[in-house]
């Protein structure tokens, strides 16, 4: 039962996307050696490219890859004395390749181990991308705008700390779950935003973050926040095509709504409903609810601003931050009038908590412009331009300034 | 795994040994250690004003008053434990009374 080279290439690519995390997680669970696990998983995928054209594509590629990788690991461990000792301690030989259900559990363990609060935040993100998503060190370095050797160092250090400081390979007990889950969700959202904020966006990163959020939802069905995060990501991703125009940022108000992915929005609404039905509100659910208001409005004018303002007030209570306050000010301006919104913005500016943040003067400028206070708006746009961090934003702000 | 817990604070408050022993948080912490059966060794250090630092440079011994490191928090004591993993060490460290105003640094022992 041979298979064509193209079919095999497609099957291996699909398996890499869908099963890499499972294969690595299962191997780490068996041999407790991160580097060996990754090496052997890599070899198993290479071996698939060689043998599948001859033997045919297996019915369960994930199981085939896991078995092959495990056999590689066993061979390698047998070759040296320390490895033989390790083999005696571990159940690598005896254990059958786990069923998909158990594998799901392994992956959850892997996520929680990668996102352990004893690791530096950037290392958590990098390690998650590397071991669960199978991204190469080069790709991760690129996403973080760091040099490859720096990123490689960071990964080596993180793996070493897991081994030497005794970070357990497990899902934390119930009492630690909320705190640890928050870190996992933060990492996934950061991965998503990393792919979303990029000038043209990095679809592979946003897709991976959405995929990992789906895994988390599937693994922790009783927790509402993973669903909240998944819904939030889906709403944002659905608007991707209309977010920029020739490298210039397009505001929500001016986006072409016919370019929004309606299937993705519908899925986001369904996922958010499931989350809200659990009746334990958290910051991701509230952010998703805000995104849902935007995503489901027929046009900019019919956006439910009073609802959005109320949701931001709730978010400010759940996860207080000056950026949330700024967003609330915009929503208040849209629902209660510009004067009310501007008062909140000025209050924030006086507090000094957003000094140096370009969106504060940009928001002020926009509200002043809407209010017809052109001269003041110009000054604020110029302020914002000096602080804006990306080209897309600078282009947007200067186009606004020149249209006044 | 063996860990050393470095009990740190800025010494702005300094309970006597008696006060510390009577602190319900400290009592609960000791009870927790006993229940877990993980404590190997522990000691409390006198305040940093009693510290003396020694360095040898170019064969010359330099002795000076005060602690070696200039940091906000100083090590005030250490506890050696042998427990399952970092999560258990974190749980133990979080129960120490000094965690409320100073901090506890967990260091795995090189074995």
Tell me the shortest Cα–Cα distance from B85 to chain A, in angstroms: 5
Q: What pLDDT digit, counting tens, does each position of A99-157 carry? A: 655 556 788 889 999 999 999 988 998 999 899 888 888 888 887 778 999 999 999 99
- Decide if A167 and B86 are in contact by the 8 Å CB cutoff: yes
Which pLDDT band, with edges at 50, 70 and 90, does A94 fall under? low
Q: Where are the alpha helices (DSSP H) in A198-261?
A: 203-219, 224-238
How far apart (Å, rounded) are the C-alpha atoms in residues A196 and A240?
Answer: 8
* Partners of residue A116 in chain B, C-beta under 8 Å: 86
- Burial (CB count <10 Å: 0-12, 13-18, 19+), residue B3: buried
Tell whether the model's pLDDT for residue B72 goes beyond 90. no
- Decide if A172 and B87 are in contact by the 8 Å CB cutoff: yes
* Partners of residue A168 in chain B, C-beta under 8 Å: 84-87
- The answer to whether A163 faces chain B, any CB pair under 8 Å, is no
Tell whether the model's pLDDT for residue A42 goes beyond 70. yes
- The answer to whether A165 faces chain B, any CB pair under 8 Å, is yes
| 3-class DSSP state of B41 | strand
Kind and range of the H or E element at A3?
none
**Tokens 């404590």 found at:** B39
CB B97 within 8 A of CB B26: yes
* Partners of residue A180 in chain B, C-beta under 8 Å: none
Q: What pLDDT digit, counting tens, does each position of A63-77 carry? A: 999 999 999 999 999
How far apart (Å, rounded) are the C-alpha atoms in residues A364 and A360?
Answer: 6
Distances (CA, A) of A80 to A85, A86, A266, A383, B41: 9, 10, 55, 64, 37
* Partners of residue A158 in chain B, C-beta under 8 Å: none
Comparing CA positions, the residue from A359, A397, A119 lying closest to residue A249 is: A397
pLDDT score, position A99 = 64
How far apart (Å, rounded) are the C-alpha atoms in residues A107 and A113?
Answer: 10
In percent, how much of chain A has pLDDT > 90?
61
Token pair for B16: 């006597």
Q: List the beta bridge partners of residue B2.
A: B82
- The answer to whether A177 faces chain B, any CB pair under 8 Å, is no
Q: Count helices and strands (H / E) in chain B.
A: 3, 6
Token pair for A298: 């027929």
CB A207 within 8 A of CB A192: no
This prediction's pTM: 0.79
CB A209 within 8 A of CB A189: yes
- Decide if B85 and A166 are in contact by the 8 Å CB cutoff: yes
Residue to test with chain B: of A112, A166, A171, most B Cβ within 10 A = A166
- Decide if B84 and A176 are in contact by the 8 Å CB cutoff: no
- Burial (CB count <10 Å: 0-12, 13-18, 19+), residue A21: buried
- ∠ Cα A58 A62 A68 (to 5°): 80
């Amino acid at each position: 039962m041979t298979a064509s080279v193209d079919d095999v290439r497609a099957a291996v690519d699909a398996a890499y996307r869908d099963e890499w995390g499972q294969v690595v997680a299962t191997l780490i669970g068996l041999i407790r050696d991160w580097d060996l696990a990754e090496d052997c998983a890599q070899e198993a995928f290479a071996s698939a490219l060689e043998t599948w054209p001859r033997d045919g594509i297996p019915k369960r590629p994930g199981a085939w890859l896991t078995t092959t990788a495990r056999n590689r690991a066993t061979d390698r461990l047998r070759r040296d004395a320390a490895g033989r000792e390790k083999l005696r301690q571990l159940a690598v030989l005896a254990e059958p390749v786990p069923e998909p259900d158990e594998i799901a559990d392994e992956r959850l363990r892997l996520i929680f181990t990668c996102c352990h609060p004893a690791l530096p935040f950037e290392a958590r993100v990098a390690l998650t991308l590397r071991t669960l998503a199978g991204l190469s060190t080069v790709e991760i370095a690129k996403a973080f705008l760091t040099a490859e050797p720096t990123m490689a160092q960071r990964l080596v250090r993180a793996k070493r700390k897991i081994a030497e400081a005794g970070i357990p390979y497990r899902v934390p007990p119930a009492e630690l779950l909320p705190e640890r889950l928050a870190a996992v969700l933060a990492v996934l959202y950061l991965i998503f935003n990393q792919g979303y904020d990029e000038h043209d966006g990095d679809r592979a990163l946003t897709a991976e973050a959405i995929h990992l959020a789906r895994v988390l939802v599937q693994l922790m069905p009783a927790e509402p926040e993973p669903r909240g995060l998944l819904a939030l990501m889906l709403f944002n991703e659905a608007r991707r095509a209309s977010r920029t125009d020739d490298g210039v940022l397009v505001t929500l108000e001016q986006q072409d709504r016919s370019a929004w992915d309606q299937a993705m929005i519908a899925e986001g609404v369904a996922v958010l409903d499931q989350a809200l039905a659990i009746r334990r509100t958290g910051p991701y659910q509230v952010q998703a609810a805000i995104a849902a208001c935007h995503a489901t409005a027929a046009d900019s004018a019919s956006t439910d601003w009073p609802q959005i303002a109320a949701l931001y007030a709730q978010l400010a209570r759940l996860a207080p931050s000056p950026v949330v306050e700024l967003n609330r000010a915009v929503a208040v301006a849209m629902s209660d009038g510009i004067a009310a919104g501007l008062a909140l913005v000025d209050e924030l500016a006086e507090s000094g908590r957003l000094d140096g943040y370009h969106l504060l003067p940009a928001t002020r400028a926009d509200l002043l412009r809407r209010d017809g206070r052109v001269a003041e708006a110009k000054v604020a746009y110029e302020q914002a331009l000096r602080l804006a961090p990306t080209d897309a934003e600078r282009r947007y702000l200067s186009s606004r300034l020149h249209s006044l | 795994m063996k860990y050393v817990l470095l009990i740190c604070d800025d010494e702005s408050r300094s309970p006597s040994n008696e006060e510390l022993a009577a602190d319900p948080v400290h009592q609960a912490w000791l009870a927790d250690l006993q229940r877990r059966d993980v404590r190997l060794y522990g000691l409390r250090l006198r305040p940093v004003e009693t510290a003396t630092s020694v360095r040898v440079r170019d064969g010359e011994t330099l002795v000076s008053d005060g602690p070696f490191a200039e940091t906000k928090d100083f090590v005030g004591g250490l506890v050696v434990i042998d427990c399952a993993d970092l999560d258990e060490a974190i749980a133990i460290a979080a129960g120490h009374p000094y965690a409320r105003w100073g901090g506890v640094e967990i260091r795995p022992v090189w074995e």
